[in-house]
Amino acid sequence: MSPSLEMASEAAGSETERAEAIAAATPVVLVAIDESDHSYYALQWTLDRFFADPGRRSAVFSLIIVHAKPTPASVIGLAGPGAADVLPFVDSDLRKIAAGVVEKAKQLCRSRSADNVLIEVVEGDARNVICEAVDKHRATMLIMGSHGYGAIKRAFLGSVSDHCVHHAHCSVMIIKKPKH
């Protein structure tokens, strides 16, 4: 693992200081990822367009990658009696998924020779986590993938990208994966 690629969890003090130093040094591009191919495509797209030239003397942008890990209770919902018995298993699965997301993001960054990357896993609703990360890191731009849901599915599930477009305090770029 490259020493410049680190995973921060639940905002440790030294990671917060490091993130503030990154934000002060260069404008921050924040990429929100989940386990979908759409978000990995958005990360690849970002790396190819903003971080592809390893010969640059200094980076134009700093890259922060954020994964919102759902809470076990939000996944289970109101399951009734016995739900508390399932919570540890659900939490374990969510941690495994988050670790997989982080590992794949690290591999993509390494394959593109991107350094000075901070990866955070933050527990909570993705809409809030992403907008809070934008504020915390003073991001200049938020980049995220589009799942391509239709209007009906978006109405029932809600759209994280739509929420971020309206509530994030920076420019938001939604990257659509081409249909093959």
Q: What is the pLDDT of residues 117-162, one digit of tens each?
A: 999 999 999 999 999 999 999 999 999 998 765 555 555 445 888 8
Q: Which amino acid is at 145?
A: G
Tell me the whole-structure pTM to 2 decimals.
Answer: 0.79
Place of tokens 């440790």: 12
SS3 label, residue 128: helix
Domain 5-75+83-175 - what CATH class? alpha beta
66 with 32: CB under 8 angstroms? yes
Identify the pLDDT of residue 56: 58
DSSP 115: -
